[in-house]
Amino acid sequence: MDSASDIAPRDPRPCAPCVAQLTTRADRLTALRAAIAIETEPVVTLTHLLQLCRDEHVILRERVGDPDCQDRMIEIVARLGDQLSDPGANSTLDLAMRTALTAAFSSTTDVPSVVIAHALAQFLDEHYAHTFGRFFRDRSPYQPAVGDPIPLDFPNLRALTTMAFTSPPWRLANRLDQSRHIRLAGDWAVQYRLVFDYSLADALAGFITAATIIATCHPNRSVTEFLLPRDERGRTFPIRPVDLDRQRRDINRLIGLATQAGADIVVLPELSVTEELANELEHWVRRTDGPRVLVVGSYHHRHRDRTPPFADRNRNTALIWVRGHDHPFTHDKHSAGDSPIAEDIQPEGWPELRVHVIDGWHLVIAVCRDLLNPEAVHALTSIGANLVLVPAMSETLLAFGGPGSSLVGNCQAIVAVANNPAEWSSDTHPPSRPARAMFGHPGLTEQTITIQPRDPGAGVALFALRSTEITWVPLDDQPSPPVQDRPT
């Protein structure tokens, strides 16, 4: 203990709060008006308005439905509409519109500023949404931080199918700090390195139609067809097929079956390939009769980080080949499996979620347990992931139904899970026969559906997006193709 003489005299003034208030509410509104007055980009102004809606959501929720506030907002929005020089063709906020937006905050004193901000945000979303795609595409790959805008895109599902859909999220109880086309990134952007990538927007334009078929390929009958080397801790790495030549032959035959049936998107299961085989399969997207998107499962490998501290890591990486694109895209699994096989991988501390934006589709890859991580599912829902392709290696697909249904209900998503192998057993795990595939679709009554053929042999599951019809094609019933599957 210090002696009494060593203790500094107490300051008679009251203690300041641990975190001082940086600005007053009046200062914030002044700064908001100043930003609106000079900003020409609709997305940026909309973001400023939504940030106020987020910060003062309590007042907004209480007053947004007030009849007097609604009447005043109708008047303000009508005056804003008079400033539209050419409705539907406005690309930036001209001086007249910026002046009108700024003046809206001083046009009434009996309506809270946050209610005005909410009405202005919805107005900008309605009349300037056609500019949002250009804004994000110009910044691709776009990596938002917490509070930054993220795009919410919606494909034309009516052109895909005439089935009755699950209620879309904008018809349900919505957050008040977002518009139909823009949402603010939440604190989940700290958990995941979110990247919006528009590099496939041209190569895959129009790739989802009413005739689109998604195929999942299933090459293996039993878990005994894989090498499962365990270390002294009981952890397994690398998992790979026992007979690589047979695996190569069967996978090529399965992809051939899928494309003959008209599949545009083909998904292979987790750990069904090696890195060498994953790269060999590129030739399928170069063929005129091949798929446009090929997710060649995933493989175990050891790779050095591209950023400090440049650690060598055991990774589980999915590879995606796309027609018209020279290089593959990758996704590293960020949630290691622990049962019945303890997977020895070391995910990075800030794993990446890459969203490929194409014609309103937000294409995302999730490897097996990635789809079971509730934090990851929350992030996928928040970014509007609506085309989710999942390579899996699991002794059951029961746990995948909840996350799949959540994405279908919240994002009107199409989900395809390719599972492998057909039969599981181990010293610590009883024999089981999991479903081979799971599909999610907003037209399905129960949102997801699984397929479990009687025969555990290799085969292809075909899912027609227009009708949600599923077809299982066994490999053993098909004649062997000529020896030209492998590239020459």
CATH code of the domain in which 394 resides: 3.60.110.10
Question: Do both 316 and 447 map to the same domain?
Answer: yes
Residues 258 and 354 in one domain: yes
Alpha-carbon distance values, 341 to 230, 236, 369, 394, 422 (Å): 9, 7, 12, 9, 16
How far is Cα 180 from Cα 151, in angstroms, rounded to an integer?
A: 9
- Is 233 found in the same domain as 125? no
Distance between CA atoms of residues 282 and 327, nearest Å: 9
122 and 262 part of one domain: no
Tokens of 368: 């097996």
Residue 317 in any domain: the answer is yes
pLDDT of residue 429: 67
| Residue 290, in any domain of the structure | yes
* Residue 454 belongs to some domain of the structure: yes
Domain's final residue, options 103, 138, 173: 138
Coil, strand or helix at 37? helix
**Which residues on neighbouring strands pair with residue 197, listed in sequence order?**
356
In order along its 488 residues, the chain shows pLDDT tens digits of 444 444 444 444 455 555 555 578 888 889 999 999 999 999 999 999 999 999 999 999 999 889 999 999 999 999 998 888 765 567 899 999 999 999 998 877 789 999 999 999 999 999 999 999 999 999 999 999 999 999 999 898 888 988 887 766 555 556 788 999 999 999 999 999 999 999 999 999 999 999 999 999 999 999 999 999 988 888 999 999 999 999 999 999 999 999 999 999 999 999 999 999 999 999 999 999 999 999 999 999 998 776 667 778 999 999 999 999 989 999 999 999 888 888 999 988 889 999 999 999 999 999 999 999 999 999 999 999 999 999 999 999 999 999 999 999 999 999 999 999 999 986 666 788 999 999 999 999 899 999 999 999 999 999 999 999 999 999 986 665 443 333 32
The residue type found at 196 is F
CA 256, CA 485: separation in Å to the nearest integer? 8
Are residues 84 and 213 located together in one domain of the fold?
Answer: no
Confirm whether 165 is domain-assigned.
no
Please say which residue of 138, 172, 205 terminates a domain. Answer: 138
The predicted structure's pLDDT at residue 310: 73
131 and 227 both lie in a single domain: no
SS3 452: coil
Q: Is residue 178 situated within a structural domain?
A: no
Rounded Cα distance between 486 and 178, Å, is 49
Numbers of helices and strands, H then E, in the chain: 13, 18
- Residue ending a domain, choose from 138, 153, 173: 138
- The number of domains in the chain is 2
Return the ∠ at Cα 6 (arms to 5 and 11), rounded to 5°. Answer: 90
| Domain match, 279 and 358 both | yes
Domain of residue 277, residue span: 191-474
Do 234 and 121 share a structural domain? no
Do 203 and 111 belong together in one domain? no
In a domain, 151, yes or no: no
Could you tell me which residues come within 8 angstroms of residue 341 by beta carbon, excluding any fewer than 6 positions away?
228, 236, 239, 426
Q: What is the pLDDT of residue 432?
A: 87
359 falls within a domain: yes
Residue-level pLDDT at 40: 96
